[in-house]
């Protein structure tokens, strides 16, 4: 249920309604939008109907949310959520491009990539330091040493930083170093990790699971939000299908669909979706055209030597060219892609 408060409701009225809901056994979430203030109330629906809450001063109406995902849903918040990371806004009119290597391999590799993607217009540097690899014999990541390098790259370039966590221990370490936490496809239904990510005060990029339905994905986001972290960014990264030419199949229909069902920002990762660098540019453009709020793109200074995901990584030159083309696509759909001085 959401309790929609009158726009003129006073702080005291909101507090009283919140207190009453909590007395009735509801878990409450205050969602302050520009157009309206609502109190999300999770609990037994019948209780609220008979409680007289609707009559309390400042309450406009009570709206039941029929969908299993509540805080995530458009019904709970009609306007788009814009996630703020330092001076970066994700989910507004500007398209946010996050770029960087699959894995942090060395100081030189990361700093060089960070400088080059920044020059091309990226707003955040990515790099895995805890790598969930299919084989236990593959490179597993630099762990804490990699986190230190990400922090250094962020400090030097002033790019926001993002890295994937795989469990509560890596989450606890990563929050000390980076600006945005990523939960990968393989952990989309690691409910303990989702809950733990809901208790941090940093934004979370939540990737879609390998075979997750949109509802399962949104329920995973609900886990994070239900613990009080409302800064969730959804990332479509392709799903398993029978097709073998590509690593996964990018589900672009998910973008406008999720936008209808939820107020959360949606970004697209064409690198993991395809596994093939030649497909990254066309699908990035497609993603922006269908309404994605941003992209997550793997870029390596020398993809042939990458320790992880080289075949899907763009060279910095190809990335820079793509960014210019993306700015044109963005403007054709009424969005902007700020290339840092060379905006079109």
Which residues of this protein are in contact with ligand PEP, per CB under 6 A? Answer: 102, 128, 164, 184-186, 207, 237, 269, 272
- Distance between CA 270 and CA 281 in Å, rounded? 8
Q: Counting contacts by CB under 5 A, is residue 236 touching Mn ion?
A: no
We find the least distance from the C-beta atom of residue 194 to ligand PEP, in angstroms, to be 14
**Quick one: 127 or 198, whose CB is closer to ligand PEP?**
127
User: Which residue among 309, 314, 318, 327 contacts Mn ion (CB under 5 A)?
Assistant: 309
**Quick one: 100 or 198, whose CB is closer to ligand PEP?**
100
**Quick one: 17 or 185, whose CB is closer to ligand PEP?**
185
Burial of 62 (0-12, 13-18, 19+ CB in 10 A): middle
Nearest-CB residue to Mn ion? 102
**Quick one: 219 or 239, whose CB is closer to ligand PEP?**
239
Binding mask 37-66 for Mn ion (x = CB under 5 A): ------------------------------
* Residue 20 contacts residue 53 (beta carbons within 8 Å): yes
Helical spans, DSSP H, in 181-337: 191-197, 214-226, 254-261, 270-274, 277-289, 316-332
Tokens for 31, please give them: 């969602």
Q: Which does 29 bind (CB under 5 to 8 A by kind): ligand PEP, Mn ion, none?
A: none
**Quick one: 163 or 231, whose CB is closer to Mn ion?**
163
How far, CA to CA in Å, does 225 sit from each of 41, 59, 70, 160, 229? 13, 23, 9, 22, 5
Segment near Mn ion (CB under 5 A); pick from 102-110, 153-161, 228-236, 254-262: 102-110
* Residue 64 contacts residue 1 (beta carbons within 8 Å): yes
Neighbours of 290 (CB within 10 A): 17
């Amino acid at each position: 249920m959401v309790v929609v408060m009158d726009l003129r409701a006073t702080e005291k009225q909101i507090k009283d309604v919140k207190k009453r809901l909590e007395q009735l056994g509801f878990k409450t979430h205050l969602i302050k939008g520009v157009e309206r203030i609502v109190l999300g109330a999770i609990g037994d629906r019948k209780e609220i109907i008979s409680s007289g809450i609707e009559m309390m001063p400042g309450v406009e109406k009570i709206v039941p949310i029929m969908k299993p995902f509540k805080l995530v849903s458009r019904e709970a918040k009609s306007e788009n959520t814009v996630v703020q990371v330092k001076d970066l806004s994700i989910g507004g009119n500007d398209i946010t491009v996050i770029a960087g290597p699959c894995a942090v391999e060395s100081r030189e590799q990361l700093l060089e990539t960070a400088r080059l993607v920044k020059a091309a217009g990226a707003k955040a540097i990515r790099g895995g330091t805890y790598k969930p690899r299919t084989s236990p014999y593959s490179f597993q990541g630099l762990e804490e040493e990699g986190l230190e390098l990400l922090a250094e790259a962020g400090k030097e370039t002033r790019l926001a930083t993002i890295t994937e966590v795989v469990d509560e221990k890596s989450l606890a370490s990563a929050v000390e170093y980076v600006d945005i936490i990523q939960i990968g496809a393989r952990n989309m239904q690691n409910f303990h990790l989702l809950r733990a990510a809901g208790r941090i005060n940093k934004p979370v990029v939540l990737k879609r699971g390998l075979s997750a339905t949109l509802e399962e994905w949104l329920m995973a986001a609900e886990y994070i939000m239900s613990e009080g972290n409302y800064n969730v960014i959804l990332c479509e990264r392709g799903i398993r299908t029978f097709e073998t030419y590509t690593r996964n199949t990018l589900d672009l229909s998910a973008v406008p669909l999720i936008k209808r069902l939820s107020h959360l920002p949606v970004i697209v990762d064409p690198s993991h979706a395809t596994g093939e660098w030649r497909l990254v540019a066309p699908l990035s453009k497609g993603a922006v055209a269908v309404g994605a709020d941003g992209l997550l793109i793997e870029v390596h200074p020398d993809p042939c030597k990458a320790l992880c995901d080289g075949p899907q990584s763009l060279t910095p030159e190809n990335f820079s060219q793509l960014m210019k083309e993306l700015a044109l696509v963005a403007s054709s759909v009424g969005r902007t892609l700020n290339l840092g001085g060379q905006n079109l």
